[in-house]
């Protein structure tokens, strides 16, 4: 189900419309400027020109809402009216938004129903596709060298970032170990319009760096059924052995 840090579980919160449809930076680019932390049993939300909002991390008496994430059904516990008003005021889209939280007893989404290369037993809450997406800093530098304006790792939203390797070497890491955590690569990450949202400004261009990625990071023709025209940047992994990751640990490529 992905990475966890303290009380925060990666991609376990979701913004939705009133009828339960997911809302991401694709529809509301300024969402990328919103930050979330957890302190002392409270969820803390911050965004530019907004006062910090603190609400209880768990609100077990709130309604459970039926949501749609990329057309799939999933549930979430409503985070309350205060959060809804705060999010609606921040996004200024002229319509109300709500936020929900995935809880462990809820039914997850099956990864294989999202992308066929995933094993049948892999499950996620609200991520696009899989539990872990890994990207190297050198791959980002390689892309920046082809652009008029540099991009940063945060533009691509990986949850594991690797340094000190060759560009795109992660494409060949079929199995890796970091500390006592063992992970297996499933497929590349096909990129979409979300990559054109600037993580510093919350402005979407719908052009770069996606256009440049398309020019040199297309899949092998034999894999068109999986990736279609999406350029590949970063790799999806599943966790074979759980454990604790520490920033700065070496990444070992496992060979047999």
pLDDT in tens, 31-42: 999 999 999 999
In this prediction, residues 94-118 reach a mean pLDDT of 97
pLDDT surpasses 90 at 256? no
pLDDT surpasses 90 at 231? yes
| Nearest to 135, CA basis, from 182, 185, 180 | 185
User: At 64, is the secondary structure helix, strand, or coil?
Assistant: strand
pLDDT in tens, 176-208: 999 999 999 999 999 999 999 999 999 999 999
Task: Give the separation between CA 197 and CA 148, rounded to whole angstroms.
Answer: 16
Structural domain boundaries in the chain: 4-110, 131-244
pLDDT in tens, 35-62: 999 999 999 999 999 999 999 999 999 9
Task: Give the separation between CA 155 and CA 143, rounded to whole angstroms.
Answer: 12
pTM: 0.95
Query: Between the CA atoms of 144, 129, 244 and 168, what dihedral angle is there, to the nearest 10 degrees?
Result: -30
């Amino acid at each position: 189900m992905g990475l966890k840090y303290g009380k925060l579980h990666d991609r376990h919160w979701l913004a939705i419309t009133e009828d339960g449809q997911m809302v991401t930076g694709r529809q509301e680019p300024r969402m990328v400027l919103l930050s979330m932390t957890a302190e002392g049993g409270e969820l803390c939300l911050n965004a530019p020109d907004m006062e910090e909002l603190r609400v209880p991390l768990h609100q077990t008496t709130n309604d459970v809402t039926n949501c749609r994430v990329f057309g799939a059904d999933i549930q979430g516990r409503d985070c309350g009216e205060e959060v809804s008003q705060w999010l609606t005021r921040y996004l200024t889209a002229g319509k109300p938004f709500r936020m929900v939280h995935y809880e462990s007893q809820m039914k997850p989404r099956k990864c294989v129903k999202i992308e066929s290369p995933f094993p049948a037993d892999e499950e996620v809450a609200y991520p696009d596709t899989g539990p872990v997406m890994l990207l190297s800093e050198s791959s980002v530098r390689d892309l920046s060298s082809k652009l008029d304006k540099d991009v940063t790792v945060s533009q691509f939203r990986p949850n594991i970032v690797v340094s000190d390797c060759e560009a795109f070497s992660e494409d060949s890491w079929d199995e890796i170990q970091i500390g006592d955590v063992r992970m297996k690569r499933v497929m590349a990450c096909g990129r979409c319009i979300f990559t054109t949202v600037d993580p510093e400004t919350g402005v979407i261009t719908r052009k770069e760096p996606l256009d440049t990625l398309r020019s040199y990071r297309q899949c092998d023709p034999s894999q068109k059924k999986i990736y279609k025209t999406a350029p590949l940047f970063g790799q999806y992994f599943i966790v074979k052995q759980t454990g604790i990751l520490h920033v700065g640990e070496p990444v070992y490529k496992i060979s047999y």
